[in-house]
Amino acid sequence: MERGGVTVRVLGIDPGLTRCGIGVVEGIVGRPLTLVDVNVLRTSASVPIAQRLVTIERGIDAWLDEYSPDAVAVERVFARSDSSTIMGTAQASGIALVAAARRGLPVATYTPSEVKAAVSGSGRADKAQVGAMVTRILRLDAPPKPADAADALALAVTHVWRGGARARIDAAVAAGRTP
């Protein structure tokens, strides 16, 4: 996302109750992007859900404090065949959205297909292809592990690349509505 030629920092979050991928990328559209940091916030299934959500919130808050992103990109929750994980994913997603909104940060959500298409050119890419493309885009020595980490970076990359266009469209629409 270009803002007057200034580098923009985006925090990508791949929400999950057991593994929540989190990664920061910075860059400008049309120039090589840079990995700032990546990790996975983990919680144990043996801990009550409320406490797991607090752990995720604290982890996201710590990343927001440490890296001061300009925007946050979160994977949009969708119904998949394994419905047993959808509730935890939705809860973790809500925590991510609230943490960013509490700080007044712009938040964008992207479907897995949108992210896959943005980084690989195909909305049907598999996890290995997404990891390989993230490795290439960010000029890394190896794909980030586990896949949740690579997915978080892919979300951040998607926002840098697509968020600039979205911001320009929103600005144009807003300018058109101004008397």
State the pLDDT at residue 81: 57
Reduced to 3 states (helix: H, G, I; strand: E, B; else coil), residue 11 is: strand
170 labelled ligand-binding:
no
**Within-domain flag for 106:** yes
- The pLDDT value recorded for residue 172 is 59
- 2 within domain boundaries: no
**Residue 1 located in a structural domain:** no
CATH code (residue 36): 3.30.420.10
170 carries an active-site annotation: no
Q: What is the pLDDT of residue 162?
A: 87
Task: Tell me the pTM.
Answer: 0.89
Long-range contacts (CB closer than 8 Å, 24 or more residues apart) made by 83-92:
85/16, 85/17, 88/16, 88/17, 88/18, 88/49, 89/15, 89/16, 89/17, 90/15, 91/17, 91/49, 91/53, 92/15, 92/16, 92/17, 92/20, 92/53, 92/56
- For the question of residue 14 being annotated catalytic, the response is yes
| Predicted local distance difference test score (pLDDT) of residue 2 | 42
Instruction: For residue 61, say whether it is annotated as part of any ligand binding site.
Output: no
pLDDT recorded at residue 64: 98
Question: Which member of 2, 57, 70, 148 is catalytic?
Answer: 148
Q: Residue 4's pLDDT is what?
A: 54
Distance between alpha carbon 139 and the CA centroid of its chain, in Å?
18
- The question of whether 61 is a catalytic residue gets the answer no
Sign of CA pseudo-dihedral 77, 81, 38, 158: negative
Q: Flag residues of the chain having pLDDT under 70.
A: 1-5, 79-82, 164-175, 177-179
Catalytic residue chosen out of the listed positions 2, 14, 57, 70: 14
Q: Check residue 80 and give its pLDDT.
A: 63
Domain count, the chain: 1
Catalytic residue, chosen from 2, 57, 70, 75, is 75
The answer to whether 102 and 61 are in contact (CB under 8 A) is no
The answer on whether 14 is annotated among ligand-binding residues is: yes
Which domain does 82 fall in, by range?
8-177
Q: Which two tokens stand for residue 71?
A: 């925007």
Structural domain contains residue 111: yes
